[in-house]
Amino acid sequence: MRPDTPADHVDHIAEAERLERTAGLYPEDAEHLLLQAAAHLELADARDRATTLYDKLLSPSAPHPPENPTLIRALKAANLWEYGHEAEARAIIEGVRGSRPAEAAPWVIVAEALEAHDELDQAHATFSEALDRLLPDPDLDPPYATHPLLYGRHRVRRLLGAPHDNWDERADRVHRARAAAAGRTPVPLDELHDPKRVWSLGSENPEEIRAEITRLQAELGTYREALSRPFPVAVLHWPAPELTELLAAYPDLTSEYPSHEAHLATIESSLRELAASGTPNLGIVTGTVPSYEAFAASEGTSPSDATLLPQYATTLAARGRAVGWPPRASEGCWCGSGRKYGECHGA
């Protein structure tokens, strides 16, 4: 999660510099850590330094090519526009839209940047392009990552005074379903996105102001909680070659992993039990022996200590390495077999 705490409560410059140092120690996680650092610099209004980090990640001379170059370009564009580089930001945004990314995050960032600068028609077009690209089948449940696209398009259409369409109705269904799953009574999207709501914040009636602030804080708190813990439970997965290497080096862990087949079966059964108990947002993280050994060294513990394994999984998830579970039945299985999930562990 990118940080969103105001600069007067956190020393964002110091935190950014700490993350940059950590990125040097963990090059495999450098992209995620440097994006976090750039977010802290933006919050500290050191936007030129944030741009330097984005350029560093996108540089052809970078030690590792970026995993998410389109996301980085989108973040760079949004940042540039905030400190006066509108023309460059627009050019990058057009490039992002033209590349038609297969992930939701770049679409969300550029659409919200356009919306923030009152380019409502372009924001609406961008949200619509993204949904046409990512949700072509209206009968499938929209993945969690696409929810901001549904909500953003609904919000912009309310600002434009456009009538409801099928996407708006779908956004409202998703919003109500999420609220029901969390045991909350939902604020209707039409009310949540009503431009007149902001007028109450200019009221001279203290009770109206307090009521609106309380409502906004409750809504924001719900979304922050969901974002800050994207994977409350992340289960550790070892690919077969890594598990073989791990057990050869640390045979004491054989009791944890009697065989690779048993390991994979345990992952699936554990996640299904957690899902049945109501635990949301489950994930899987993939371990490597060098990374695990580095983590054990940082903790001052032997890699043979089995109690270190869940801590390692949690740390990987916190670094953004988790993949959501379960995949769709038609998607590749998480185990890496190359088969569809519905024909493999999801059968």
Question: Domain total for the chain?
Answer: 3
* Domain closes at, from 175, 205, 228: 228
Give the SS3 label for residue 240.
helix
Per-residue confidence (pLDDT) for residue 279, from 0 to 100: 77
Nearest alpha carbon to residue 53 among 69, 71, 37: 37
Same domain, 36 and 180: yes
Q: 108: domain CATH number?
A: 1.25.40.10
Cis omega (within 30 of 0) for bond into 326: yes
Same domain, 96 and 189: yes
Same domain, 187 and 68: yes
Is 106 inside a domain boundary?
Answer: yes
pTM score: 0.60
What DSSP letter does each residue of 47-116 carry, written as one string? HHHHHHHHHHHH-TTSSS--S-HHHHHHHHHHHHHHTT-HHHHHHHHHHHHHH--SSHHHHHHHHHHHHH
pLDDT digits (tens, 9 = 90+) for 15-58: 899 988 988 888 888 888 899 899 999 988 999 999 999 999 99
Per-residue confidence (pLDDT) for residue 204, from 0 to 100: 62
With beta carbons less than 8 A apart as the criterion, state whether 103 and 70 touch. yes
pLDDT score of 89 more than 50? yes
Question: 1-5, 234-238, 333-337: lowest mean pLDDT where?
Answer: 1-5
Same domain, 185 and 222: no
Distances (CA, A) of 41 to 6, 10, 86, 110, 328: 11, 11, 19, 19, 37
CA distance 178 to 280: 11
Same domain, 240 and 179: no
Same domain, 100 and 186: yes
pLDDT score of 95 more than 70? yes
Same domain, 82 and 25: yes
Same domain, 108 and 29: yes
* Domain closes at, from 194, 212, 241: 194
Is 122 inside a domain boundary?
Answer: yes
Confidence of residue 121 (pLDDT cuts 50, 70, 90): very high
pLDDT score of 182 more than 90? no
Radius of gyration of the chain (CA): 22
Task: Provide the domain limits for residue 238.
Answer: 233-343
CA distance 168 to 154: 5
With beta carbons less than 8 A apart as the criterion, state whether 285 and 230 touch. no
Same domain, 214 and 301: no
Percent of the chain with pLDDT over 90: 46
Same domain, 244 and 169: no
pLDDT digits (tens, 9 = 90+) for 195-219: 666 445 555 667 766 666 666 666 5
Is 1 inside a domain boundary?
Answer: no
Same domain, 64 and 189: yes
pLDDT digits (tens, 9 = 90+) for 232-248: 578 999 999 999 999 99
Same domain, 158 and 190: yes
